[in-house]
Amino acid sequence: MYIFDTIMATFNIELNSRPIMGSNERTLLMRITVNRKHIRLNLMYSVAPGHFNPKGKASKYIRSSHPEHARINNYLEDKILQAKEIVTKLEKEGKSVTPQIIRSKMTQPKTCDLFVFCENLKNELLKRGDAGTYKKYRTILGSLKEHVKKPELYFDEIDGKFLSEYQEFLKKQEKEQTTIHAYVGRIRSLFNKAIRQGLIEPTTNPFSNYRIKQGKVLKDRLTENEIIKIEELDLPESSLTWNVRNLFLFSFYNAGIRISDILLMTWDNIKDDRLVYTMYKTNKVHSLKLLTKPLAILEKYKGRGESFIFPFFSDRYDYSDPLFLHNQIGAKTALINKYLKDISVKAKISKNVTTHTARHSFADIARQKTDNLYNLSKTLGHSSLKVTEAYLSSFDEKAVDDTLDSVFK
């Protein structure tokens, strides 16, 4: 048992002496003791005795052999912290403290204003410099306020009916299904964060039995012949169109580097014919061998007198403010996409070519030339194979066509 002391109370984590009927697992309990009088509170998790550490210290009540040990240990810590806060508040208010009162307050239904919670979250994100996620939660907060038309929205007001009505509200605004999925997904994320912080009870989460329709993301990609068409265009040197074409090809020939990373790329990222940089989206270091074509593109920009490789960002500006940086990336991306449309017309390509197309094109061509998904995942800079599989799933139409051809040719 790991004991937490307050002035008047102690809190122990125990296992129920009896197993759950039909199982070898036992419910976790919190024993609340005040002045040698105690009472037990049933907790939401149960584990087998072999997974429970009766002398748990440093948040290790549940052994690492349990597949959800981290989640349960965090939950237990939160419950003990909640109990301690109740005692502190009762003492400050000069009220009596008994095991029964503590348990009663711990089992009271909890609610919390989602608007206030989301406001605090986005402010914290901005302080941490995560401008992209900050803007996502700022958007969902504004959208929900527009929908409910009142100054507060409590978590326990959000149920399946509310979510369905909110989706209808977004459809009337002519939002794409992928956008609707993202908006509702952020509401789910807010619930998960509030539960982890002990602000609401898990039973209030409507997403335990509510599914969000994802929608289909169309990912246009180019063939190798279409890439060559773009490469062979005769464009005025140093023109904006010329720079956009070079940036697009540099992305494609370097495993579809994201536009944010190319815009931020400096000559310090070139090390012994390797490209070594920290990805803006994930903050992880990625390293790529520079091949002949990207090296030739780099040669075009040497001696510019700027630390940035491509002439879309400049040393004249201070990009240390994360929100300013995020907005600048968005503005430059919109400009580049505008000129990519012009390039696709010149190359007689009817597809919708954007900065993302370089990444999609590389991934699609690469998966046709290699069966090593692990290597492809690492080349794309994904965090796991599952991410790569989800990313490639939108290209499955080609795999279906190839299978039919091989069966019926």
216-255: pLDDT as tens digits: 555 678 888 999 999 999 999 999 999 999 999 999 998 8
Q: What is the mean pLDDT of residues 278-292?
A: 86
Tens of pLDDT, residue by residue over 244-277, are: 999 999 999 988 889 999 999 999 999 988 889 8
Distances (CA, A) of 232 to 251, 310, 336: 16, 20, 19
* 325 and 178 in a common domain: no
* 146 and 13 in a common domain: no
Greater confidence (59 vs 310) lies with 310
> Is residue 297 domain-resident?
yes
DSSP string over 73-138: HHHHHHHHHHHHHHHHHHHHTT----HHHHHHHHSSPP--BHHHHHHHHHHHHHHHT-HHHHHHHH
* 148 φ/ψ angles, rounded to the nearest 5 degrees: -85, -25
Hey, how many other C-beta atoms are within 10 angstroms of the C-beta on 364? 19
Per DSSP, 292 falls in state H
Provide the CB-side half-sphere exposure for 127 (13 A, CA).
6
- In angstroms, how far is CA 264 from the centroid of its own chain? 21
* 123 and 102 in a common domain: no
**Burial of residue 12, with CB atoms counted within 10 A of its CB: 0-12 exposed, 13-18 middle, 19 or more buried:** middle
Domain that holds residue 260: 224-408
* 188 and 297 in a common domain: no
* 338 and 370 in a common domain: yes
> Is residue 121 domain-resident?
yes
* 168 and 248 in a common domain: no
CATH of the domain at 119: 1.10.150
> Is residue 361 domain-resident?
yes
Which residues neighbour 255 within 8 Å (Cβ) at sequence distance 6 or greater?
A: 288, 362, 366, 379, 380, 381
Helix (DSSP H) and strand (DSSP E) numbers for the chain: 15, 6
* 120 and 48 in a common domain: no
C-alpha dihedral over 391, 396, 398, 400, to 10 degrees? 170
Hey, how many other C-beta atoms are within 10 angstroms of the C-beta on 256? 23
What's the rounded Cα separation, in Å, for the pair 345 and 351?
9
Bridge partner list, 32 = 11, 39
Q: What is the mean pLDDT of residues 143-166?
A: 92
Q: Inform me whether the pLDDT recorded for 344 exceeds 80.
A: yes
pTM above 0.75, yes or no: no
Tens of pLDDT, residue by residue over 14-49, are: 999 998 888 889 999 999 999 889 999 999 889 999
DSSP string over 1-13: ---EE-SSEEEEE
Give the end of a domain, one of 208, 234, 265: 208
* 263 and 290 in a common domain: yes
C-alpha dihedral over 60, 61, 64, 70, to 10 degrees? -70
Give the end of a domain, one of 149, 184, 208: 208
> Is residue 217 domain-resident?
no
Give the end of a domain, one of 106, 126, 159: 106
* 58 and 171 in a common domain: no
What are the tokens at 162? 């509310």
* 99 and 163 in a common domain: no
> Is residue 218 domain-resident?
no
> Is residue 214 domain-resident?
no
* 318 and 402 in a common domain: yes
> Is residue 213 domain-resident?
no
Domain count, the chain: 3
- Asked whether the beta carbons of 237 and 364 are under 8 A apart, the reply is no
> Is residue 179 domain-resident?
yes
Q: Inform me whether the pLDDT recorded for 359 exceeds 90.
A: no
* 134 and 87 in a common domain: no
Q: Which one-letter amino acid corresponds to residue 158? A: I
CATH of the domain at 277: 1.10.443.10
Query: What pLDDT score was predicted for residue 378?
Result: 59
Q: Inform me whether the pLDDT recorded for 10 exceeds 60.
A: yes
Burial 150-182 (b: 16+ CB within 10 A, else e): eeebebeebeeebbeebbebbeeeebebeebbb
Distances (CA, A) of 346 to 67, 113, 233, 247, 334: 56, 53, 8, 17, 19
- Asked whether the beta carbons of 170 and 177 are under 8 A apart, the reply is no
